[in-house]
Amino acid sequence: MLTRRTQTGQALVGVMVVMVILFALAGAVAIGASTLLSSRGSSGATGNDFRLHSAVNDSVAQVAGSTGACWAVPPPGSSPSPSPIPAPLTVALPSPDGVTQTLCARMDGAAIDAVRRVQTPPTSSACRTVTLPYTGPIRVGVLFDVHTSGTGWAFLAPDDFPPPSGCQAGLPPGPKGSCATLLVAGWNQVALSCDIGSNEGTRLYVKGAATSPHQVFAAAQDPHASPATSVYLLAVQSPLAVSTMEETLLFVTGSTNRLLYEGPLLP
């Protein structure tokens, strides 16, 4: 009798164990199905993010380890000083994206801890003045992306330089060489380098658009820096839309590559 009762109890326990396992499996299947359904909405965004970063990674790889890729503004006072002609990088991506382009500019002689990201002040005008945190004697370099619907200009000058009269169409007289540049309609990459005299502050003047540029990357430059250093500004065209770009700042020496900034490039 005791043996029969024991066997009955063991069978009951076995049935309960099986039921618990079945309930657990059913719960796991339900959770898996729910996760799969909820992930369908985010898979597209994840895929798009991978596609964009493939373009960024390809662009960075093309300049990593090099202190002479892309174009850089000539040093102040160099003679002759031909204007550099920006040449975009060609980025080849897997299907279905194909080929895109990356704008690329370079600033030399800046220490990795010397590069500063300066937010530009909001304005309702196409012209703006940006005060930079440098006092001479010093050589100052700037890199930035700016969008304009028409022609524009940008120049570096000491703070005692007479500011432009209103938002004039042409480049004000005075700034020249590596301290100034003209802008064309669309996206422009600006690289400027200028010597600022003793006890003078530094200002950047830009005629672009009311919303552009959003920020400026600036640094004190040492033309005799050893080892040679370069800071690359990359404006990477997204494979998702021609009008969408990603802005990246990369510091490079012969043996060091460090990403200093990455974010969407806003017009």
Torsion of CA 140, 144, 149, 150, to 10 degrees: 30
pLDDT of residue 47: 74
Q: For the segment 119-174, what is each residue's pLDDT rounded down to a tens digit?
A: 998 888 899 999 999 999 999 999 999 999 888 999 999 999 998 888 888 998 88
pLDDT of residue 140: 96
Calpha distance 118→115 (Å, rounded):
10
pLDDT of residue 238: 86
Residue 21 has pLDDT above 70, yes or no: no
Q: For the segment 47-73, what is each residue's pLDDT rounded down to a tens digit?
A: 777 888 888 999 999 999 988 889 888
Residue 190 has pLDDT above 90, yes or no: yes
Residue 114 has pLDDT above 70, yes or no: yes
Q: For the segment 195-244, what is each residue's pLDDT rounded down to a tens digit?
A: 999 999 999 999 999 899 999 999 999 878 777 899 999 999 888 877 78
Domain residue spans in the chain? 60-265
Q: Largest Cα–Cα distance in the chain?
A: 114
Calpha distance 130→8 (Å, rounded):
87
pLDDT of residue 165: 83
Average pLDDT rounded to a whole number, residues 114-120? 94
235 bridge partner residues? 103, 247
pLDDT of residue 35: 47
